[in-house]
Amino acid sequence: MISQECAKFLERNLPLLGVCMYPVIDRPDWDHTEIWHHSGIWDHDFASKYSRVLHLESAVAIVNGQQLISKSQKNKFARLLMRYF
């Protein structure tokens, strides 16, 4: 959904300087610190202090979003070219 909105923004020739991804690393619940959300791009696997595991669903969503935006920009460029032919 975020990628679709970014693509719409870019199609209007508005500058998009970045997108906030939160949380990047998994985190515990605010009120129940023993419960982890598994909502980051990387999950904590507790094997060591800095041990992280890529959250595959998040990684796939990011790649799909990048492809959607790239395709949108290529289509926008093609529409611009068609104006001259």
Mean pLDDT for the stretch of residues 1-22? 88
Enter the pTM of the model: 0.70
**Per-residue model confidence as pLDDT tens digits over 17-75:** 888 888 888 888 889 988 888 778 888 777 887 888 998 888 999 999 999 999 988 88
For residues 24 and 40, is the Cβ–Cβ distance under 8 A? yes
Q: How confident is the model at residue 5 (pLDDT cuts 50, 70, 90)?
A: very high
Q: Which positions ≥6 away from 16 have C-beta within 8 Å?
A: 6, 9, 10
Q: How far apart are CA 16 and CA 33, in angstroms?
A: 35
77 compared with 15, residue with greater pLDDT = 15
